[in-house]
Amino acid sequence: MQNETIVAVATPPGVGGVAVLRLSGPNARLAGVAVFPKLLQAPPRRMMWGELRDGAETLDDALAVWFAAPHSFTGEDVIELHCHGGRATVAAVLAAVLAQPQVRLAGPGEFTRRAVEHGKMDLTAAEGLADLIEAETEAQRRQALRQLGGALGERFESWRHRVLGLLAQVEAGLDFPDEELEILSDARLAEGFRSLLAEWDSALQEEAGRKVRDGLSLAIVGAPNAGKSTLMNALSGREVAIVAATAGTTRDVVRQVLAIDGYRLEVADTAGLRDHTTDTIEQEGMKRAKTTAKAADVVVWVADARELIMKGGLFSKSISKAVAPVLKNPPPAEVLAEGRGLVVLSHADLMTQELPKNLEIEGTNYPVLALNLTEAGAAKRLQAALLPLVQAQAGLAEGAAWLTRERHSAAVREASAKVGEALVLCTKGTRNQELGTRDGDSMAELVAQELREAAFAIGTVTGRTTSEDVLDVVFSTFCIGK
Ligand SMILES: Nc1nc2c(ncn2[C@@H]2O[C@H](COP(=O)(O)OP(=O)(O)OP(=O)(O)O)[C@@H](O)[C@H]2O)c(=O)[nH]1
Ligand SMILES: [Mg+2]
């Protein structure tokens, strides 16, 4: 309820040098002055030093500042109390604030929700803020900041305005029923629908936004004993997986989250793939390895360099299509897909011949990195070789306002279905000259209704046309104090 004043500790739980408590709402100023009397004389946005009090008792020596509505984060009167960050101090100050009339503890994301409700930011910006707070890598941070800055909101608003523009054209047909046919058969109208549909179609194809936000997956696959777990450990910088000279050491999928140049990457080490095994546990491991590889954004195929097939005593640098397979154990086509694969030739330290820089496997050319996986510099070289693949998979998200959540895609899908229906109605109406009515509505009315629903769906993303339910869902994922 907006007429209540909310309070929460804005800094993370635990002990710190300073903790910040934030109050927002109509009673914030009164409650703030009650616990920090000096705020009474303070001009807005000026930090004051003084005593934090609970009645006659001094709680802390602290700093406080107030922001007058509407010039605050939430758009309401906001007070910030900066006290010492000990647990007992924070608890005592919080209790003193909560003892003030009409003050209660804030729910998850309630400060941000109030900011949205007072028009301080749209819903996509609020999501950007939540992402920024949670960002673990550079790419996530940059993307969240763009979304907070309104880039995604603008994209959706421009789509909504285009739908509303088309709706205005159709509504002209309602006002002038004699010209309805002419208006609905206007080629520019159909063109407007088609260009929106095409744009939405490609927006739904982009996965970059979600890949940067949620991270990419990388699967390490290859024959037993190739050095997959050694590679996993080199990339992780610690002994995540067991390495042994025995073939078939790794059975389960071993996962580890890493950051490569700011991209969040979930790396999976898998069981070695071989043609025949009677061991049921190994069979299950191989099945999991293939499933993991198929679902991965990037696949690293590890092969022992000694498994390369020689051609005239030399390894061909770019092996021609005719000499496939070039490896004794080539990867099954399903695991090493085009554009997302890197071949790592391990045990390069045991080879004297020059090794190829790329390999053609099953008609596709893959970059090759030959190295000694047990050597200290291996991780650096692996990261450098992986970066272009990761960037390509993330779609080089720099500068773009990608759809980052399922909620965004769902709205675009819904709007797309409505506009598609509008297009069908227009073309059907004009082709068959059947401007007759359905349920007593004129054709223009039916088209207009589809467009209104499309505009509504697009508007839910920014919060322009959002119901309480949508707000509840979005803010339920926020933490208290945000
Ligand atoms: N000399 C040398 N030895 C390596 C290299 N890479 C891995 N090894 C050794 O090869 C053996 C097998 O390595 P692992 O990393 O366990 O191989 P894997 O592919 O995980 O094997 P499985 O889990 O059984 O499928 C270990 O003894 C490693 O130390 C390399 O580049 N050079
Ligand atoms: Mg292993």
Q: Ion ligand 2 — residues with CB under 5 Å?
A: 228-229, 249-250
pLDDT reported for residue 325: 47
Same domain for 102 and 36? yes
Ligand 1: atom nearest CA of 302 is 19
28 plus 164 within the same structural domain:
no
What is the separation, in whole angstroms, between the first and last Cα of the chain? 17
Nearest ligand 1 atom, CA 223: 25
Contact between 211 and 473 (Cβ < 8 Å): no
Residue 456: closest CA among 128, 164, 118: 164
Mean pLDDT of the chain: 87
Q: What is the pLDDT of residue 264?
A: 87
Tell me whether residue 119 is in a domain: no
Per-residue CA distances from 202 to 195, 279, 360 (Å):
11, 46, 31
Q: pLDDT class for 395, splitting at 50, 70, 90?
A: low
Count CB neighbours of 332 within 10 A.
13
Which atom of ligand 1 sits closest to the CA of residue 230?
15
Percent of the chain with pLDDT over 90: 57
**Model pLDDT, residue 404:** 83
| The residue to which tokens 């408590």 are assigned | 21
The pLDDT of 387-396, averaged and rounded, is: 78
3-state secondary structure of 317: coil
Ligand 1 center–CA 230 separation, angstroms: 6
Same structural domain, 101 and 156 = no
Structurally, how many domains does the chain consist of?
3
305 and 328 in contact (C-beta within 8 Å)?
no
Q: Are residues 197 and 99 in the same domain?
A: no
In the prediction, which pLDDT does 413 show?
Answer: 95
Q: Which of 335, 369, 394 is the last residue of a domain?
A: 394
Asked whether residue 219 falls in the same domain as residue 341, the answer is yes
User: Quick check: CB of 225 below 6 Å from ligand 1?
Assistant: yes
pLDDT mean over 461-477? 80
Structure confidence at residue 1 (pLDDT):
57
CB of 249 within 6 A of ligand 1: the answer is: yes
For residue 164, pLDDT beyond 60: yes
For residues 239 and 363, membership in a common domain is answered with: yes
Which candidate, 366, 293, 273, places its Cα nearest to that of 335?
Answer: 293
Q: Quick check: CB of 310 below 6 Å from ligand 1?
A: no
Comparing CA positions, the residue from 362, 389, 363, 430 lying closest to residue 180 is: 430
Question: Which one of 230, 233, 329, 373 would you pick to mutate in the ligand 1 pocket, going by the greatest count of ligand atoms within 8 A of its CB?
Answer: 230
314 and 456 co-located in one domain:
no
> How many whole angstroms from its chain centre is CA 53?
43
CATH number of the domain where residue 278 is located: 3.40.50.300
Question: Is the shortest distance between the CB of 277 and ligand 1 below 6 Å?
Answer: no
* pLDDT over threshold 50, residue 397: no
In a domain, 419, yes or no: yes
CA 221–ligand 1 middle distance (angstroms): 13
Looking at ligand 1, which residue's alpha carbon is closest to its atom 9?
Answer: 227
Are both 202 and 250 inside the same structural domain? Answer: no
Please tell me the predicted confidence (pLDDT) of residue 360. Answer: 78
Identify which has the larger pLDDT, 191 or 208: 191
The answer on 315 and 181 residing in a single domain is: no
Q: Is residue 142 part of a domain?
A: no
Among 86, 106, 126, where does a domain finish? 106
CATH number at residue 446: 1.20.120.430
**pLDDT digits 0-9 by tens, 102-139:** 999 999 899 999 999 999 999 999 999 998 988 887 77
For CA atoms 441, 444, 446, 448, give the dihedral sign: negative
* Residue 269 CA to ligand 2 centre (angstroms): 7
Confidence of residue 400 (pLDDT cuts 50, 70, 90): low
For ligand 1, is residue 153 a contact (CB within 6 Å)?
Answer: no
Residues 125, 126, 129, CA angle at the centre, nearest 5°? 85
In the three-class reduction of DSSP (H, G, I as helix; E, B as strand; rest coil), residue 303 is classed as strand
Give the closest ligand to the alpha carbon of residue 230. 1
Q: Which domain holds residue 380?
A: 212-394
Residue 336 lies in a domain: yes
Confidence of residue 204 (pLDDT cuts 50, 70, 90): confident
251 lines ligand 1 (CB under 6 A): no
What strand order describes the sheet that includes 341-346?
A: 254-260, 263-269, 216-222, 298-304, 341-346, 364-370, 358-361
Whole-number pLDDT of residue 310:
60
Q: Residue 75: which CATH number?
A: 3.30.1360.120
pLDDT digits (tens, 9 = 90+) for 255-299: 999 988 878 899 999 999 988 888 889 999 999 999 999 888 899
User: Model-level pTM?
Assistant: 0.66
Q: Please indicate, yes or no, whether residues 373 and 408 belong to a single structural domain of this protein.
A: no
- Ligand 1 centre from 272 Cα, in Å? 11
Same domain? 18 vs 89: yes
Q: End of a domain among 394, 423, 458?
A: 394
pLDDT at 435 exceeding the cut of 60: no
Is the CB of residue 329 below 6 angstroms from any atom belonging to ligand 1? Answer: no
Assess if residue 280 is contained within a domain: yes
Residue 94 CB neighbours (<10 A): 18
pLDDT at 436 over 80: no
Give the pLDDT confidence of 298-325 residue by residue, as tens digits: 999 999 998 886 655 555 544 444 344 4
Residue 39 maps to a domain = yes
CA distances from 311 to 27, 327, 350, 356, 467 (A): 83, 12, 18, 12, 68
State the average pLDDT over residues 424-435: 67
Q: Same domain, yes or no, for 44 and 186?
A: no
Q: Ligand 1 centroid to 232 CA: how many Å?
A: 11
Confidence of residue 209 (pLDDT cuts 50, 70, 90): confident
In a domain? residue 117: no
CA of 215 to the centre of ligand 2 (A): 24
> 350 lies in a domain?
yes
Q: Give the pLDDT confidence of 29-77 residue by residue, as tens digits.
A: 999 999 999 999 999 999 999 999 999 999 999 999 999 999 999 999 9
